Each structure stands twice: as C-alpha cells, then as structure tokens.
Amino acid sequence: MRYGFVKVCAATPRIKVADVGYNAEKIIEAARESCKNGSQLTVFPELCICGYTCGDLFGQNALLEAVKGAIGDICAALSDVGTLVFVGAPLMAGGKLYNCAVAICGGQILGVIPKTYIPNYGEFYERRHFSGADNNLSEIEIAGKSVPFGTDIIFKADNMPDFTVACEICEDLWAPCSPSVAYATAGAKIIANLSCSDETVGKAEYRKNLVKMQSGKLVAGYVYCDSGDGESTTDMAFAGHNIISENGNVLAESKLFENGLLYSEIDVELLSSERRRIFSGYYPAAVGAFRTVHFSTFDSGSELLRSYPQTPFVPADNDSLSERTELILSIQAKGLEKRLIHTAAKTAVIGVSGGLDSALALLVTLRAFKAAGKDSRDIIAVTMPGFGTSDKTRGNSVELVEAVGATLKTVPISETVLKHFSDIGHDPEVKNVTYENAQARMRTMILMDIANETGGLVIGTGDLSELALGWATYNGDHMSMYGVNASVPKTLVKHLVAYEAKKLGGKTEEVLCSILGTAISPELLPPDKKGNISQKTEDLVGPYELHDFFLYYSVRWGFSPEKVLYLAERAFKGVYPAKTVGKWLKTFYKRFFANQFKRSCMPDGVKVGSVTLSPRGDWRMPSDASAAVWLGGIDDNR
C-alpha cells in the first residue's frame, strides 16, 4: 500500500485451553487469512498457543514442549507468508518461564519479547508461574536456533523505512512506565500488544481510552489484541476486545464477545511527520540500547479501509459539533475581549457585507462586548455599498445589525471610487483587478478612519481559507487591527453562524438563515440584469470544501501532493471527477505559494484549531518559495 499506510490486523481466533495443536491450526488459518487480505502486521492474543488460563498447567513440561513444537509448525506453515506475526507463548529461558510474544515473518522467528510487568493480584496471579523480563538474557534457543530475546528489540521493515514495530504484553500497558514509552522514543512507530484482559462492567471503556491515549501520547500506532472465546470461564469471561488506534484516534474496534479479525491501516508517514513537528524527532540518548531486527514485507495492494471526511475541520456528529462550535466562539471572543481591554478601545468597527464572514465577526464581537461589560451600541457596523452590492446582501446586513443592537453606519463608496478612478486615470468600464481592489481598499480606509474617529479597533473578517488562497486584497480586506476569523476555515464558518443563530433565535436567527443561504461573493462586480450576485467566489477559485481538505492535509500533516490528491479523490468520489480534484489542487498550491507575502504581514488573530497561518505562530514560510516540487507531484492523468 502506498503513501505510508501499513495494513494491520488484530486476530482473535477461537481456542481451546491447553489444546496446543488445535490452537496452532487456528492461528495458522487466521494468519494466512490476514495475509490474503493484505495485512502486513498481524497480532494475536497473549499466550494464545496454549491459552492464558492454563493455571498450574504452565508447570507441566508436556504443555511447554507442545508449545515449542507448535511454534515450529506455525513457522513451517507460514514460510510463504510475508506478514509480520506476533504470537503469544510460554517459553523457558535460563531456567525461568516467560510470558512471551514470538515474532515470525516468512517462516522465520525474528525475535522473542518477554512480558515486563507480571501481575500479582486476584485472578491474574502470574507470578506463580512467570518471571519478568531479564536484562541478563539476550538470546533464546527455539528449535535448535538462537534468536534475539529481550525488551530491547525493534523490528524494522527494509522496504518501508517508517514501518518500525515493537511489542509489549497486556499489563505492560497498564504500568506507570510502559515499555512502549521507551520503544516509541527509540523510533518504533507501531506498538503491538498481545493481551488477555477479562471483561467486567466498565472495563471496555477504560481499556479503549487507555489504548487511545497511549497512541496519542506516543504519537504512535497501537494494535491491541485481546483473548476471546475459548479461554476458561471458571472465574472470568473474555470478550476479544480488539482495538487499533493511531495518534489518539481509534481507527477500528471490535464488538465484545465476537471473535475474528479486525483490520485497519496505520499511517506511519503521518506519525513520522507529526513526531518531527512536535518533538524534532525521537532521538534520545538511550536509542543505542535497542537492537534492530530487520524484515521485509509486501505491498498489501488492497484498497484503503480508512475513510476520510470531506470536511476534516468539522466534527461529524452533532454533539461534538455543538461542543466544538461553542468552544471556538468562546476562544474567538476571549481573544478579542483581551485586545479591547488592553487597548482601552471604546468601539469595535466592523465592515458588514451581508456575507458569512462579516456575520461571524459581528457575532463574536457581540460576545466579547458582553463578556467585557460593554454596550453593544459601541459596536459600529458599517455597510459600504458599492458597484457589486446586491439588494439581498445589503438588506441582510442592515437587518442583522439592527437585530443584534449594534450601531449601523452606511457609507456608500461608488462615487468616491469613481473619483479615485479619475484621479489615477482608470477607465471604470475596464473591470479589472484595479476596478475590484480599489473598492476593497476604499472600504478598509473608511473603517480605519471611523475607528480613529471613535477611539476603536477595526475587527477583521477574513477567514483561514481566504488566507490560504490569498483571496484578500492586500491592504484592503487583508488588513485590520484584530482578525477574529483568522484561523477559522470557510467550511466551519457556516456551522458557527448556524449555531449562534439557533442560540440567539428570533429576528437574528431569521436574518442569519438568509445569510447562510447566500452565495459566497466579494461583490466587487455589478450584479446581473436581475439584480443577482454575478461574481461567485467558488466559480473562480474552486470549491471551499476541496480547498479546506487540501489545506488540512498539506499544512497540518505535511502530506505530499500525491497523497493529498489520493485522499481527496477517495473522499470526494461521486462528488467531483478525479480531474476536477487535480485541477483545483493545482490551483490551491499555486495560490498558496504565490500569496505567502500577504500572510507574512497579517494582523493578530487568535488561534482556535490545529491549523493557523500566522507568521508568529504555526506557519513560517519564505514569501518567494517556489511551488514547482508540489505542482510536479500532481498527475493530471489520474
């Protein structure tokens, strides 16, 4: 599989306690099936060759000898399987019995990892039989061969450099200092956990959160494989609760009490990029203390199971969306409140166009004023009708200002701009960039001067998507004294406005719903003959839902253009043809690189999410960087 995706599998076969031959057959069947389905890493439960609940049978040589023979049978049966497989088994070494994970690939045993933390409570009285990891042992003999043994082993795929795996066993995850912490800091991108965790009320949610948070803390993939049916129910029940997680997100989770194979893909390229971004790489002094065991895997060649939302900035479920929108609005308002108090501003001046961005800026300012104990009448909302202003947007802007109790000020700009055209020698019949931008700059000058006149601040309305595309007039709507929407993408703006509309209700909700139904436009060109908006932004620069998708995966995760295109084609299949996606991706990169100079001098604006383009915050980029490498990575013939 391309683009850094490693297909993984957590496999819980139905076993019989102490029936080693039967269990080996089931393990072989599951391993071959997972390989057939493209899995490059398959993890089985703890002690699955014989069963975790063997009790004092672990003291029987017959069982232990049968286990060693079964390992040989498994290796022989998987000689043509290029999947890295972890199987749980009790093994003797140096006169002690260890609870182990045996790593097998291509029929060869690559290494054996003993459990570090042996439980000493309740039903899990493993200390009766097993010893903890012993640093004095570095090798173990199996089937007449000596193989690496210990908790200092990391497995690395030669044909996929970022595919690095380490293993811990059950309670190791619950320990205060899990082995996986050291593994991750030494470079392991994926942690396999062979587990046998009994099921009790509430434990599944705790277990899931533990796996999820461990993967997030380590910036790693985590494959947790749990024992299920077949373990003894003398005192406990086992549910086969398998979990695959990546960087704090659960990718796949099995249903309780259903044995089977759970698949997903872990993006090791994403993990590598995120580690570099956060920690400048994982290079501790202890890295030399770990041994690297090499293996080769295959290209899974299977279709990607993971799905990617079309709007990654917007939570999919309504409850999360409501919580997120409230938090974002609170962050925006708190940032502005601080700036208003710090500067002792008497007023806030906003250009209200009847569009979504200016509506959101006004709603945020209203919140900030309320929090600061200021009168909403000191919010000066200015409408500045020009050549392209439609009756609908002008009416909506006026109604909105009146509904929220701000002070409305109308300053027509057409005559002033025509005089300006005359001063600079521009023919107003030539509707070029001068014709458009002169209006935007005139509006900004008016807002700045009103702010000076009233002792206030100009509140910027431009959003993150516009900043990414450079869709702002330099020193026009590009400029303000505080940009409240600077890190809010266009696809999220409408959800914030809709949320606030419902919350405020009444006339405010009514007019905001009208604004939500209005086409996105800068309204710098005259309306059509019917008085409708003639200049629609998305017809010119492309759909914002595509550009926000491109922005999220190219800036937040640093994905290559090829990978961004691959994911976008999958996410928008049936919505846009592949060639259309590629066309707009090229537009995105061209505009993103060409307009960095606008972002290099953008005004302050509070960060609300994981992506911001502030030159003082998360994004530092030379204004003259070439987009050649990125444009060259987009295949027009896909």
Do strands 153-157 and 260-267 pair parallel, antiparallel, or not at all (unpaired)? unpaired
- C-beta atoms surrounding 432 within 10 Å: 9
Find the radius of gyration of the CA atoms of the chain.
Answer: 31
Tokens read off for 162: 């970022």
Would you state the structure tokens that stand for residue 84, as one six-digit string? Answer: 């890295």
| Active site residues per annotation | 46, 115, 170
CB distance 314 to 491 below 8 Å: yes
Question: What sign does the dihedral 39-40-44-49 (CA atoms) show?
Answer: positive
Residues composing the chain: 638
Tokens describing residue 439: 């209006």
Residue 354 near residue 515, CB atoms below 8 Å = yes
Report angle CA 625, 628, 630 to the nearest 5 degrees: 95
Burial of 82 (0-12, 13-18, 19+ CB in 10 A): middle
Q: Which residues contact 399 (CB under 8 A, 6 or more apart)?
A: 507, 511
Q: Report the alpha-carbon distance of residue 638 to residue 636 in Å, rounded.
A: 6
Per DSSP, the three-state class of 477 is coil
Strands (E), 2-63: 5-12, 41-43
DSSP secondary structure code for residue 238 in this structure? B
Residue 102's SS3 state is strand
Helix H or strand E segment including 343: helix 318-343
User: Strand, coil or helix: what is 313?
Assistant: coil
Q: How is residue 567 written in tokens?
A: 């994911």
Contact 47, 90 (CB under 8 A): yes
**Pairwise CA distance, residues 522 & 461, whole Å:** 12
Q: Is 317 exposed, middle or buried (0-12, 13-18, 19+ CB in 10 A)?
A: exposed
- DSSP-derived letter for residue 136 is T
Q: Is the dihedral of CA 114, 120, 126, 127 positive or negative?
A: positive
